[in-house]
Amino acid sequence: MKILVISAAYPPMHAGESANAHHLCTRLAQRGLDVHVLTSIGNSGADDAGVTVHPVMERWSWREVPRLRRFLAQCAPDAILLMYLGGMYQYHPMMTFAPTLARQVLPGVPFVTRYESPFAGAAPIAPGLTTRILRRAAAWAAGSGVSYNSGTLLRDSDHVIVLCEGHRIVLVEDTPSVHDRIVVIPPAPNVRVSSEPAAHARVQGRAKLGVDPDDFVIAFFGYVYPKKGIETLLEAFQRIRRARTNARLVFIGGTIDLDAEVSGRYWDAMQQLCTELGVADRTVWTGAFKSDGEDASLYLRAADVCVLPLHAGVQLNNSSFSAMAAHGVPIVTTRGAFTDQAFVDGDNVLLCEPRDAAALALAIDRLIDDVSLRQRLQQGVSQLAHDWLSWDEAIARTTALFRTRRPTSPAPAAR
């Protein structure tokens, strides 16, 4: 079976979407599928067996519609998977009409859209006059049921994948007709779990980080950018350090390429805050790592506790959480309005309120002192990873969608 994955984010780009698309494609290929990736110029891939990368798209704009149509015809896949996030496509609306274009070129081929996020689709800022005119023209040509932000993605995709329940709620409220075609498949880990025995990997990871055997290591994992709550974690760590001289804080990850300027400024601000709070000498910043290497896994094995202090609260779409959970590390994170029911406070995570350094410090302190709680959380998060966040589960559920067309009637005819 020949699968076409469309993703503007792909290695060597540094972004969670890039890493997850790469892992997904390699695992599809390992299942015996012939995988092709349509991506942006410069994203050369990693020479994975069974994966052919086509870095031919420039701006993903209206003027590239002929190129997209030609590529679809030449590739002639048996199914198409679009990885969609507005920022991946410079918030241009062209790709929001991708399933309609694909139907015209390849009628009968299943088209699946995976929403990385339902927020800020193709119109987070006021578009230019030309874009507005062309968007309205495309909407007119596509017929009724077209959304200004999502074009025909929800109307014409045979299936829509979302990464958590909160995202499903948002899309169904926007387009109720998508209800029967939408499925929640959380992202599996964006890292390769080390094949080393856990105890040996822990020793290796601590050596790489330069921490002592008796240090209590508190780790953050993921890309560094606003809304991750890193300032809250630094302030909490300052409180912890006053009484616990062996505490160490490790940030595993670097900046994100999709929004390099904002991420870079935030990185610099957090470095400065770390110094101002007087904890720089007990803090390690690893910077970027290769998602298909073992360093990130060794760093996670070195941790005693992981912390994810997200401003919006944890959800199943957080790939950073998936990576932490895959290593069975007790996790402190934050609750939010859309936190999935799979997260159970005191059973598989320890939850506290966002932006509250005092509460975060108390939660971490509690885990430092309570070995039995750490063990219970380790068992609980390992079960959560098995039930919700494994690659075997994600690939099985995704490939099942490639074999079926939408159960509803055809889309309205174009004008």
Q: Annotate 346-395 with three-state secondary structure.
A: CCCEEEECCCCHHHHHHHHHHHHHCHHHHHHHHHHHHHHHHHHCCHHHHH
Residues with Cβ < 8 Å from 120, sequence gap 6 or more? 86, 87, 91
Strands (E) in 224-376, as ranges, are 247-252, 283-285, 305-308, 331-334, 350-352
pTM exceeds 0.85, yes or no: yes
Strands (E) in 230-274, as ranges, are 247-252
Residue 255 sits in the same domain as residue 362:
yes
CA 300/CA 190 separation, integer angstroms: 13
Task: Give the residue carrying structure tokens 């971490």.
Answer: 364
Paired strand residues for 283: 249
Q: How are strands ordered across the β-sheet holding 51-57?
A: 51-57, 34-40, 2-6, 79-84, 111-115, 159-162, 182-184
Residue 29 sits in the same domain as residue 173:
yes
Residue 181 sits in the same domain as residue 220:
no
Domain membership flag for residue 89? yes
* Residue 333 and residue 367 in contact, taking contact as beta carbons nearer than 8 Å: no
Q: What is the pLDDT of residue 412?
A: 45
Give the domain extent around 172: 2-188+393-402
Residue 289 sits in the same domain as residue 210:
yes
Provide the token pair at 181.
Answer: 């075609």
Q: What is the pLDDT of residue 133?
A: 54
Residues in the chain: 415
In angstroms, the Cα distances linking 56 to 21, 44, 81, 86, 286 are 17, 10, 17, 19, 33
Residue 385 sits in the same domain as residue 303:
yes
Domain membership flag for residue 226? yes
> How confident is the prediction along the chain (415 residues), in pLDDT tens digits per residue?
999 999 999 999 888 899 999 999 999 999 999 999 999 999 988 889 999 999 999 999 999 999 999 999 999 999 999 999 998 998 899 999 999 999 999 999 999 999 998 875 555 555 555 555 555 555 545 556 677 778 999 999 999 999 999 999 999 998 899 999 999 999 999 888 998 999 999 999 999 999 999 999 999 999 888 899 999 999 999 999 998 999 999 999 998 877 778 888 999 999 999 999 999 999 999 998 887 789 999 999 999 999 999 999 999 999 999 999 999 999 999 999 999 999 999 999 999 999 999 999 999 999 999 999 999 999 999 999 999 999 999 999 999 999 887 654 444 444 4
- Cα 163 to its chain centre, rounded Å, is 8
Domain membership flag for residue 412? no
Domain membership flag for residue 385? yes
Residue 225 sits in the same domain as residue 161:
no
Domain membership flag for residue 24? yes
Provide the token pair at 381.
Answer: 């998060």
* Residue 320 and residue 308 in contact, taking contact as beta carbons nearer than 8 Å: yes
Residue 224 sits in the same domain as residue 170:
no
Instruction: Characterize the bridge pairing of strands 79-84 and 182-184.
Output: unpaired
Q: What is the pLDDT of residue 313?
A: 95
Paired strand residues for 162: 184
* Residue 3 and residue 402 in contact, taking contact as beta carbons nearer than 8 Å: yes
Q: What is the pLDDT of residue 208?
A: 96
Instruction: Return the SS3 of 253.
Output: strand
Residues with Cβ < 8 Å from 181, sequence gap 6 or more? 157, 158, 159, 160, 406, 407, 408
- CATH number of the domain where residue 109 is located: 3.40.50.2000
CA 65/CA 292 separation, integer angstroms: 33
Residue 184 sits in the same domain as residue 240:
no
Domain membership flag for residue 75? yes
- Cα 215 to its chain centre, rounded Å, is 31
Residue 39 sits in the same domain as residue 14:
yes
Instruction: Characterize the bridge pairing of strands 79-84 and 111-115.
Output: parallel
Residue 76 sits in the same domain as residue 124:
yes
Q: End-to-end alpha-carbon separation of the chain, Å?
A: 34
Residue 206 sits in the same domain as residue 173:
no
Q: What is the pLDDT of residue 85?
A: 94
* Number of domain units in the chain: 2
Residue 25 sits in the same domain as residue 122:
yes
Q: What is the pLDDT of residue 190?
A: 87
Domain membership flag for residue 413? no
The helix/strand count (H/E) of the chain reads as 14, 13
Q: What is the pLDDT of residue 409?
A: 43
CA 116/CA 256 separation, integer angstroms: 15
Domain membership flag for residue 331? yes
